[in-house]
């Protein structure tokens, strides 16, 4: 009986130890789960406030990378695709000032503002003009660059479309949701073809499906130098467009202030002019 008593006590002690270990393990597991939930909650809160760049996070910038020299694709020395341009250089400077890693998202121009409003991108930098209707959707930085507009046509038709009056009744190619689309709507009897990509507009022009295209000046020059058989005419489009801005999600004043601070630095130092010159030279290659 004594042996059985000793054995019974020993078994009870082992059971108590195992139970205690089990409680400790379960407690640790619950704490780990709580920590994960807390981190996720903190991340979601940061996303909703728009401050994704705090703590070395990514700055996601939306662009329509068919807009040389603003933003466009090239192949690097290793044959890999790369998005470059002077808007990209500005984005790099903003990311640097925020202590963030830059990620560029290439998308169609007419989807950029929706992506910004839904927080899928932090900024839009893509030759964005400060149209009044856009100000209702997003906040905008100060103007960082101004450029003239241009009329592009086939080389043999350059003299035919030498004035704005000569565009009456013409088939005009423009980028969808752009300031150029608004300008084309003011041309009497014009027939518009609005497309998402400028490359597609140039193809329509080359094939004769449109007579002319209205394109932002530096972009037009880049295409004329790289595409045979098209030219810029002497027609001078007039627009009330004030220049180009950076789009920020509505109400994100902290981000807007930081963007303007970076732009002030770049404008005062002459860096933006250098970015434009370097990107234009790269686009011509």
Q: Where along the chain do its domains lie? A: 58-146+242-284, 149-232
Stretch 62-66: mean pLDDT, rounded? 95
Listed range (35-44, 49-58, 74-83, 214-223) with the worst mean pLDDT = 35-44
CATH number at 149-232: 3.40.190.10
Q: What does the pLDDT read at residue 32?
A: 34
Q: How confident is the model at residue 22 (pLDDT cuts 50, 70, 90)?
A: very low
Angle between helices 271-284 and 253-269 (to 10 degrees): 80
Q: Which two tokens stand for residue 224?
A: 């004329």
Confidence check: pLDDT of 92 > 50 = yes
Segment 176-196 shows an average pLDDT of: 94
> Which of 200, 22, 229, 39 has its CA nearest to residue 108?
200
* pLDDT > 90? residue 165: yes
In the chain, the percentage of residues whose pLDDT exceeds 70 is 80
Using one digit for the tens of pLDDT, what is the confidence trace for 126-149?
989 898 889 999 999 999 998 889
What mean pLDDT comes out for the span 219-235?
94
CATH architecture of 58-146+242-284: 3-Layer(aba) Sandwich (3.40)
| Band of pLDDT at residue 222, cut at 50, 70 and 90 | confident
- How far does the chain reach from its first CA to its final CA, in angstroms? 98
Contact (CB, 8 A) for 118 and 101: no
58-146+242-284 and 149-232: same fold? yes
Mean pLDDT of 228-254: 92
pLDDT tier for residue 283 given thresholds of 50, 70 and 90? confident
| Section 189-204 average pLDDT | 95
Nearest to 49 by CA among 203, 250, 237: 250
Give the residue with greater pLDDT, 38 vs 107.
107
* Average confidence (pLDDT) over 14-30: 38
Phi, psi of 191 (to 5 degrees): -110, 115
Mean pLDDT score, 50-61: 68
């Amino acid at each position: 009986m004594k042996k059985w008593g000793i054995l019974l006590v020993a078994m009870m002690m082992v059971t108590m130890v195992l139970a205690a270990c089990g409680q400790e393990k379960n407690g640790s597991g619950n704490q780990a789960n709580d920590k994960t939930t807390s981190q996720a909650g903190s991340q979601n809160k940061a996303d909703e406030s728009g401050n994704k760049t705090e703590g070395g996070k990514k700055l996601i910038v939306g662009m329509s990378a068919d807009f040389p020299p603003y933003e466009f694709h090239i192949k690097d020395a290793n044959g890999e695709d790369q998005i470059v341009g002077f808007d990209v250089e500005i984005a790099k400077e903003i990311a640097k000032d925020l202590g963030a890693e830059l990620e560029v998202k290439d998308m169609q121009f007419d989807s950029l503002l929706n992506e910004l409003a839904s927080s899928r991108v932090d900024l839009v930098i893509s030759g964005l003009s400060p149209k009044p209707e856009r100000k209702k959707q997003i906040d905008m930085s100060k103007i960082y660059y101004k450029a003239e507009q241009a009329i592009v046509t086939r080389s043999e038709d350059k003299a035919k479309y030498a004035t704005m009056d000569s565009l009456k009744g013409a088939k005009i190619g423009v980028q969808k949701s752009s300031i150029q689309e608004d300008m084309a709507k003011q041309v009497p009897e014009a027939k518009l073809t609005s497309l998402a990509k400028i490359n597609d507009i140039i193809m329509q022009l080359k094939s004769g499906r449109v007579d002319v295209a209205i394109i932002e000046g530096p972009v037009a020059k880049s295409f004329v130098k790289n595409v045979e058989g098209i030219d810029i005419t002497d027609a001078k489009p007039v627009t009330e467009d004030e220049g180009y801005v950076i789009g920020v999600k509505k109400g994100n004043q902290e981000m807007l202030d930081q963007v303007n601070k970076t732009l002030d630095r770049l404008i005062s130092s002459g860096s933006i002019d250098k970015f434009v010159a370097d990107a234009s030279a790269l686009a011509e290659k």
